[in-house]
């Protein structure tokens, strides 16, 4: 067959991992990125990457990692993918080690591992507190190597607008906007991979980079691709407040011994160091003796919300708590957390080695994303040769990394995102190449008429946008959208507010049509592109809110107090397995369980019947609909989560 190539959109960890794997297999790659790939949002990941290497001899294993991941995600993830990922995690870390990532070391020279949320093991490999940056650089270097060999062509400062589909709906290319010249072109590609990260900017200020608009995935959704679990947005418990962005304070700060507390007395305005130990409330440690400060993020964020809003114990009466590292030595902190402590100091002027940090929860990650497929093997792993892996519901269009919805269920564990990004990028490579081999015709041989239509459609759209001369400033309108989302679709969700938010979004959508394109230059004009992104963000916020509104339950990051099953304090999740077992074997011995437990288990079971399903958003005739799809829970039986 004539020359084939894969178009990869996005140069973060997933995009680069896919690029280098596919290039290694000898297939050409066109790598498209909004900015130089070395600046992708993956650099912001701080704490580390999970892999059960068991270097500390704690009896850790990929199976336990798999269990922690599935439990952390409240059983909403398709299990074979999680299993395959966790079993490949040690290999991914070893590969990164070989590629030169300067991971921290034990005195003997082995990889060092730290604690992270949602697990009791030292499972997180790390390079100081800028692990994402270091991993990204290692992959960036490998891709640059392929670039010099001609296997990879980079198009930086280019933006993906949409997929080019042939008459059968198969993806044969992508329409790309040159952010410098404003030129729009449809590029031919036999497969297109969206590795475009998350949509934090829908919430305006989040821990995400300014490029994380979710536009590319939303565009795929608007073209008919299924979008999975949109309502599952992770709120990170610890971020640094800021006017332009909420900077992340890594979970590793707690992994290395950081303690979260508030003054026991509301309105205590003494300096934190002047508050004696007895007058501090270490609320996570008290409530969760086993996991303590390292409960999963959904739990942590909820507890902070509870202590600040319901108990009114927030620092300075605000939604803030102390994160305290002052009991650790300067040398220890600089070695293992240097990068993030410097960031805190630079932006707040306070030295976190001397004073407890003031942190608060912020939008961080989207567990949801474009729906993708997989092919599992009989023993519950993934067939890496299958072209179906990571393929969206549009044939030939793939998704990887935060852009997909597969690996984290209802809540992602810290340090699993770097893993899932690199794992998916590498794992999908052989399947994508196999997909190319079996195509009837190469995209390069298709008639240009196939591509002209899309090119023209997008050119027309952008020229319409450029001529918009209404009265709404697009950036101000975006701030309004963000305000609505952050006020109502965050940690605690209430149907009334969600319904009202949908109306606000629809209002913003209609006002979008009255935008003024505030910059009319042809050259390097970011405004038309942003106006288009804003449209997509509006569409995405709709399905996030709709998904939240429709899902009447409490699962992982999606917390609706009205539908909390109120797990009894003394409940043991093992009882539920026993209960299920008895049920399967003929009948429950009701006398064996406390009646409140029995009630709870029945509620839990019923709730799972209704809601242990992926939300699948589709866009038809200009309207979103959300349906539900079974989750593959064939490997670990769902059960109530408990971390105390």
Partner 1 sequence: MSRMLKFKIKRQDSKESSPYWEDFTVPYKANSNVISCLMDIQANPLNSKGEKVSPVVWDCSCLEEVCGSCTMVINGEVRQSCSALVDKLEEPIRLEPMSKFPVIRDLAVDRSRMFEALKKVQAWVPADGYHDLGPGERISPEHQHVAYKLSECMTCGCCVEACPQYSKNNDFLGAAAMNQARLFNMHPTGKSLRKDRLDVLMQAGGISDCGNAQNCVEACPKSIPLTESIADLGKQASKQFWNNLFSS
Q: Can residue 108 be called a binding residue for partner 1 (CB under 8 A)?
A: yes
The stretch among 132-140, 160-168, 188-196, 591-599 that binds partner 1 (CB under 8 A) is 132-140
Contact 558, 232 (CB under 8 A): yes
Residues annotated as catalytic are 297
Question: Measuring CA to CA, how many Å separate 318 from each of 96, 133, 264, 432?
Answer: 41, 32, 15, 49
CB of 368 to partner 1, least distance (A): 23
- Of 220, 78, 217, nearest to 629 by C-alpha is 78
397 strand-pairing partners: 192
CB of 243 to partner 1, least distance (A): 4
Q: Which residue, 78 or 417, is less far from partner 1 as judged by CB?
A: 417
The stretch among 271-279, 350-358, 484-492, 520-528 that binds partner 1 (CB under 8 A) is 520-528
Size of the site for partner 1 (CB under 8 A): 72
Query: Strand, helix or coil at 376?
Result: strand
* Lookup: tokens for 78: 């398709």
The stretch among 123-131, 352-360, 366-374, 408-416 that binds partner 1 (CB under 8 A) is 123-131
x/- letters, 401..430, toward partner 1 (CB under 8 A) = -------------------------x----
Q: Can residue 332 be called a binding residue for partner 1 (CB under 8 A)?
A: no
Contact 505, 488 (CB under 8 A): no
- Using CB under 8 A as the binding rule, the residues of this chain from 64 to 103 that contact partner 1 are 91, 94-95, 97-100, 102-103
- Using CB under 8 A as the binding rule, the residues of this chain from 187 to 246 that contact partner 1 are 209-211, 241-245
Binding test (CB under 8 A) with partner 1, winner from 183, 519, 602, 644: 519
Q: Which residue, 289 or 526, is less far from partner 1 as judged by CB?
A: 526
Q: Which residue, 445 or 475, is less far from partner 1 as judged by CB?
A: 475
Q: Which residue, 91 or 625, is less far from partner 1 as judged by CB?
A: 91
- List the alpha helices (DSSP H) in 467-525: 474-488, 495-512
Q: Which residue, 99 or 319, is less far from partner 1 as judged by CB?
A: 99
* Lookup: tokens for 154: 């980079």
Rounded to the nearest 5°, which phi and psi values hold at 513? -70, -15
Q: Which residue, 147 or 599, is less far from partner 1 as judged by CB?
A: 147
Q: Can residue 38 be called a binding residue for partner 1 (CB under 8 A)?
A: yes
d(C-alpha 350, C-alpha 344), whole Å: 7
The stretch among 70-78, 437-445, 519-527, 577-585 that binds partner 1 (CB under 8 A) is 519-527
Binding test (CB under 8 A) with partner 1, winner from 182, 314, 339, 369: 339
**Residues ≥6 apart with Cβ < 8 Å to 276:** none
Residue with tokens 């605690």: 492
Q: What angle do CA 527, 213, 254 make, to 5 degrees?
A: 135
Query: Strand, helix or coil at 537?
Result: helix
Q: Which residue, 76 or 127, is less far from partner 1 as judged by CB?
A: 127
232 strand-pairing partners: none
CB of 302 to partner 1, least distance (A): 25
Binding test (CB under 8 A) with partner 1, winner from 7, 30, 43, 616: 43
- Using CB under 8 A as the binding rule, the residues of this chain from 525 to 564 that contact partner 1 are 525-527
x/- letters, 577..616, toward partner 1 (CB under 8 A) = ----------------------------------------
Residue with tokens 């397995």: 577
Binding test (CB under 8 A) with partner 1, winner from 5, 28, 41, 185: 41
Q: Can residue 623 be called a binding residue for partner 1 (CB under 8 A)?
A: no
**Residues ≥6 apart with Cβ < 8 Å to 383:** 375, 376, 377, 389
- Using CB under 8 A as the binding rule, the residues of this chain from 429 to 488 that contact partner 1 are 473, 475-476, 479
x/- letters, 163..182, toward partner 1 (CB under 8 A) = -----------------x--
d(C-alpha 167, C-alpha 454), whole Å: 12
Binding test (CB under 8 A) with partner 1, winner from 10, 80, 117, 128: 128
CB of 169 to partner 1, least distance (A): 32
Q: Can residue 149 be called a binding residue for partner 1 (CB under 8 A)?
A: no
- Using CB under 8 A as the binding rule, the residues of this chain from 348 to 387 that contact partner 1 are 349
Q: How many residues does the chain have?
A: 644
Contact 144, 133 (CB under 8 A): no
Q: Which residue, 103 or 227, is less far from partner 1 as judged by CB?
A: 103
Q: Which residue, 8 or 275, is less far from partner 1 as judged by CB?
A: 8
Contact 81, 369 (CB under 8 A): no
The stretch among 57-65, 114-122, 124-132, 440-448 that binds partner 1 (CB under 8 A) is 124-132
Which DSSP category does 345 fall into?
H
Query: Strand, helix or coil at 336?
Result: helix
Question: Measuring CA to CA, how many Å separate 325 from each of 38, 276, 317, 573, 588?
Answer: 31, 16, 22, 33, 49
Return the H-helix or E-strand segment holding 614. strand 613-620
* Lookup: tokens for 73: 């995600």
Q: Which residue, 325 or 426, is less far from partner 1 as judged by CB?
A: 426
- Using CB under 8 A as the binding rule, the residues of this chain from 284 to 303 that contact partner 1 are none
Binding test (CB under 8 A) with partner 1, winner from 78, 79, 130, 218: 130
* Lookup: tokens for 191: 């497969």
CB of 99 to partner 1, least distance (A): 5
3-class secondary structure per residue, 21-78: HHHHCCCEEEEEECCCHHHCHHHHCCCCEECCCCCCCCCCCHHHHHHHHHHHCCCCCC
Contact 420, 386 (CB under 8 A): no
CB of 470 to partner 1, least distance (A): 14
- Using CB under 8 A as the binding rule, the residues of this chain from 305 to 324 that contact partner 1 are none
d(C-alpha 256, C-alpha 534), whole Å: 39
Query: Strand, helix or coil at 570?
Result: coil
- Of 503, 509, 512, nearest to 549 by C-alpha is 503
The stretch among 37-45, 188-196, 301-309, 573-581 that binds partner 1 (CB under 8 A) is 37-45
Binding test (CB under 8 A) with partner 1, winner from 487, 524, 566, 610: 524
Q: Which residue, 102 or 561, is less far from partner 1 as judged by CB?
A: 102
């Amino acid at each position: 067959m004539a020359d084939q190539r894969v178009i990869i959109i996005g140069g973060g960890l997933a995009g680069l991992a896919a690029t280098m794997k596919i290039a290694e297999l000898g297939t050409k790659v066109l790598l498209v990125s909004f900015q130089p790939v070395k600046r992708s949002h993956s650099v912001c990941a701080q704490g580390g990457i999970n892999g059960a290497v068991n270097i500390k001899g704690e009896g850790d294993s990929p199976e336990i990692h798999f269990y922690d991941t599935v439990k952390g995600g409240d059983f909403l993830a398709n299990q074979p993918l999680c299993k395959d990922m966790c079993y490949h995690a040690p290999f991914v870390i070893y590969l990164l080690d070989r590629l030169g990532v300067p991971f921290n070391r034990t005195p003997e020279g082995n990889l060092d591992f730290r604690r992270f949320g949602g697990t009791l093991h030292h499972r997180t490999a790390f390079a100081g507190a800028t692990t994402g940056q270091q991993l990204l650089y290692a992959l960036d270097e490998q891709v640059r190597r392929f670039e010099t060999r001609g296997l990879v062509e980079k198009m930086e400062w280019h933006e993906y607008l949409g997929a080019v589909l042939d008459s059968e709906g198969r993806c044969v290319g992508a329409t790309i906007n040159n952010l410098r010249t404003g030129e729009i072109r449809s590029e031919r590609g036999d497969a297109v991979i969206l590795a475009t990260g998350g949509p934090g900017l829908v919430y305006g200020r989040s821990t995400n980079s300014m490029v994380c608009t979710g536009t590319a995935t939303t565009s795929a959704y608007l073209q008919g691709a299924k979008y999975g679990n949109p309502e599952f947005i992770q709120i990170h418990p610890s971020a640094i407040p800021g006017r332009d962005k909420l900077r992340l304070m890594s979970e590793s700060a707690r992994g290395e011994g950081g303690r979260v507390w508030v003054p026991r007395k509301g309105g205590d305005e003494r300096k934190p160091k002047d508050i004696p130990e007895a007058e501090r409330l270490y609320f996570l440690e008290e409530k969760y003796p086993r996991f303590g400060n390292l409960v999963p993020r959904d739990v942590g964020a909820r507890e902070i919300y509870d202590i600040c809003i319901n108990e009114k114990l927030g620092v300075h009466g605000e939604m803030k708590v102390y994160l305290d590292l002052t009991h650790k030595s300067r040398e220890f902190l600089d070695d293992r957390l240097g990068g993030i402590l410097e960031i805190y100091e630079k932006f707040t002027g306070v030295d976190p080695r001397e004073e407890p940090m003031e942190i608060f929860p912020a939008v961080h990650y989207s567990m949801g994303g474009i729906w993708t497929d997989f092919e599992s093997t009989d023993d519950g792993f993934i067939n890496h040769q299958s072209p179906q892996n990571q393929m969206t519901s549009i044939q030939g269009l793939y998704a990887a990394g935060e852009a997909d919805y597969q690996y984290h269920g209802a809540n992602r564990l810290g340090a699993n995102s770097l893993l899932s990004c690199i794992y998916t990028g590498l794992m999908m490579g052989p399947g994508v190449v196999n997909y190319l081999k079996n195509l009837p015709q190469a995209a390069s041989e298709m008639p240009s008429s196939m591509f002209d239509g899309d090119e023209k459609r997008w050119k027309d759209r952008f020229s319409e946008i450029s001529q918009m001369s209404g009265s709404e400033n697009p950036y101000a309108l975006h701030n309004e959208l963000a305000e609505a989302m952050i006020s109502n679709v965050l940690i605690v969700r209430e149907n009334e507010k969600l319904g009202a938010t949908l109306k606000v979004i629809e209002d913003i959508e209609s006002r979008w049509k009255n935008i003024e394109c505030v910059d009319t230059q042809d050259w390097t004009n970011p405004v038309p592109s942003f106006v288009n992104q804003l449209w997509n963000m509006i569409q995405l916020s709709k399905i996030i809110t709709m998904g939240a509104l429709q899902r009447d339950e409490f699962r992982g990051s999606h917390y609706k107090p009205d539908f909390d099953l109120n797990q009894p304090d003394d409940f043991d999740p093992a009882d539920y397995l026993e209960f299920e077992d008895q049920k399967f074997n003929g009948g429950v011995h009701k006398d064996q369980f406390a009646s409140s437990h029995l009630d709870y288990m029945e509620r839990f079971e019923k709730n799972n019947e209704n809601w242990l399903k992926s939300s699948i958003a589709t866009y038809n005739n200009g309207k979103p609909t959300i349906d539900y799809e079974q989750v593959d829970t064939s490997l670990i039986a769902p059960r109530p989560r408990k971390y105390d």
